[in-house]
Amino acid sequence: MEKIKYEKPVINKISAGVPSKFGLPVKQKIISDIDGIKVSTLMEKYGSPLFVISERTIREVFAEAKRAFETRYPKVQFAWSYKTNYMDAVCSIYHDEGSWAEVVSGFEFEKALSNGVNGSQIIFNGPDKSETDLTMAIEHNACIHIDHFDELYLLIEISRKINKKARVAIRVNLDAGIYPIWDRFGFNYENGDAWNAINRIMLAENLELIGLHTHIGTYIMVSSAYAIAASKLANLYMAVHRKFDYWLKYIDLGGGFASKNTLKGAYMPGTETCPSFDEYAEAISNALISSEIPHENLPVLFLETGRALIDDAGFLLTTVLANKRLNSGRRSTVIDAGVNLLFTSFWYNLGVYPSKEMSGGAEESTIYGPLCMNIDVVRDAIVFPHVNTGDQLVIERVGAYNMTQSMQFITYRPNMVLIDMEGKTHIIRKKESLETFKQQELNPKR
């Protein structure tokens, strides 16, 4: 008979609900493999910490979103939000699924072009578009979403200078019944700025207005807000037709769909509270179909969903560096991935899970990152089992923003790996080394 392992006794403070005499049972979830590949195998091969992206999940989630919209609305086009994750390997998968590219800078524009995206299938958003960027966008026949009047004037000037028509849409901000209203981007609907901008564009010689765009916010947890936004854009769409006898080509409702992550301060987990693609799709298509627009003139519906599509496909594998009992008596764990890699840990209570079955009870703990900085807290309160130094952990739902927003600070950024449809692993970005920096740095003192 095998010797039973010793477990330290733990005293848990009972804090909420009506417990049984055994306290609150916590069933610990574990993630031992990703797409059938053992976490230990991955880390052995590619080191720790390690970003892992699952192509299977990307394609499955995309198919779900696509089905949700295409079975409710006749003309739907997704555009991959580059800023959410612009790793070339990731973008290529979305383009392969038929997505266009949605970019917000000259850099992203160039990246989309280098990924083989046709210029006319790039949507150029954002407040920062230089003269060079705009010239490039016009030359490539991109869809330029104008953010402010100064950009509009610049665009009129450039298109006249290079004597080429620019295909444009305007970004509209509006009151969709949610807080905050993102009125810093685009032209306001309620005060008439948007209508004003439309009129100026329609009369401008070298601009062709083809669409209307809005992006009401991020992590929107009520689908009805999209219905309000869609019907306001539909009003503008009809107004353009009435005044100019012209049908715009599309309405772009941007992104902002919530992923299944749990926001800090939320009472219930995101998996329970966030609307599904079906709910967003239902709200948006109902609003458009039941609007004044005749059904044979319905616009193409563009969606720039980023987070909700990719969050589930990303994992960060990390290793326990140390366990510590804080002065307050609270247990804490230090891991080798911190806020330098997990930008979203500022917003979310990220799910951190062991990669193997842990015996013993769980205890409320704090998980710290490896940085020598006080702010480096991955989770400040999590009921977590007793892990040991060297144990491998998995942080789930980190596909959105973390890979592109991870920063090089104090230490090198790690390998990023893609697991393809056949279950093969590929490095999609190499771990940094001193060489990486020496290439970029210049030292006049030597």
Partner 1 sequence: MLLKGESIKINSKEVLFSVLNSYSQIFFSTSKVLAVSLLIISFFDYGAGISGLISVLIANFLAHILGYNKYYLKSGIYGFNSLLVGLGVGLLFQPSLPLYLLVAVTAVSCFFFTIVFQGILGKYGLPFLSIPFLITIWIVSLSADQLTALNISERGIYTYNELFGLGGHTMVKLYDWLEKLVDSSFIRIYFYSLGAIFFQKGLLAGIIISLGLLYYSRITFALSILGYSVSYLFYNLVGIEFNSLIYTFIGFNYILTAVALGGYYLIPGKTSYLWIIVLLPSVVLFTIGTDQVFRQFHISPYSLPFNMVVLMFLYALKLRERRPADLHETPVQMGNPEKNLYLQSGNMKRFPSRYPVAASLPFFGEWEVSQGHNGEFTHKDAWRNAWDFIITDKDGKQFKGSGDFPEDYFCFGKAITSPFDGTVEELVNTIADNKIGDVDTRNNWGNTIIIKHSNEIYSKLCHLKYHSIEVKEGDRVKQGQLLAKCGNSGRSPYPHLHFQFQSKPYIGSPTIDYPFGHYLLREEKYSFETFSIPQKGQLVANPMKNELLSKALHFIPGQKITGNLEEVSLKTGEIIKKEAFLWEVNTDPYNTSYIESKGEKAFAYLYNNGSLHYFTNFIGEKDNPLFWFFTAFFKVPLGFLPDSRIQDQLPLNFMFGGILKFLQDFFAPVYLFLKADYVLEFKKAGDILSSEGLTMVSSLTKRIAGRETGKYIHTINIKESGHIEIEITNRDTKIRIACRSEQ
Task: State the residues that interact with partner 1 by CB under 8 A.
Answer: 63-64, 67, 70-75, 77, 100, 118, 120-121, 141, 143, 167, 210, 249-250, 282, 285, 289-290, 295-296, 300
Question: What is the rounded distance in angstroms from the CA atom of residue 83 to the CA atom of residue 108?
Answer: 8
Rounded Cα gap, residues 402 and 51, in angstroms? 9
User: Which lies closer to partner 1 via its Cβ, residue 181 or residue 210?
Assistant: 210
Class of residue 436 by CB neighbours under 10 A (exposed 0-12, middle 13-18, buried 19+): middle
Looking only at the bridges linking them, the beta strands covering 362-368 and 377-385 are antiparallel
Toward partner 1, which CB reaches closer, 64 or 380? 64
Rank residues 141 and 224 by Cβ distance to partner 1 and give the closer one. Answer: 141
180: cis peptide before it, omega within 30°? Answer: yes
CA distance 262 to 291: 34
Shortest separation between residue 218's beta carbon and partner 1, angstroms: 25
**How far apart (Å, rounded) are the C-alpha atoms in residues 434 and 118?**
36
Select 120 or 191, whichever has its Cβ closest to partner 1. Answer: 120
Give which of 33, 90, 3 is closest to 392, Cα–Cα.
Answer: 33
- From the number of C-beta atoms within 10 Å of its C-beta (0-12, 13-18, 19+), residue 394 rates as buried
Taking the least distance from each CB to partner 1, the nearer of 230 and 428 is 230
For the chain, how many residues are written?
446
Q: Which residues contact 36 (CB under 8 A, 6 or more apart)?
A: 423
By beta-carbon proximity to partner 1, the closer residue of 143 and 317 is: 143
Return the number of the residue (56 or 431) whose C-beta is nearest partner 1.
Answer: 56
77, 303 contact by CB (below 8 A): yes
Closer to partner 1 by Cβ: residue 71 or 132:
71
Q: Residue 111 is inside which H or E element, if any?
A: helix 106-114
Beta strands in 310-410 (DSSP E): 314-325, 331-335, 351-354, 362-368, 377-385, 392-396
Residue 50 vs 76, nearer CB to partner 1:
76
Q: Please work out, in degrees rounded to the nearest 5, the angle formed at the alpha carbon of residue 229 by the alpha carbons of 82 and 57.
A: 35
Find the shortest distance in angstroms from Cβ 353 to partner 1: 22
Listing DSSP states for 264-320 in one string gives TT-SS-HHHHSPPHHHHHHHHHHHHHTSSS-GGGPPEEEE---HHHHGGGEEEEEEE
Closest CB to partner 1 among 87 and 298? 298
Cα atoms in the Cβ-side hemisphere of radius 13 Å centred on 393: 28
**Smallest distance from partner 1 to CB 95, Å:** 12
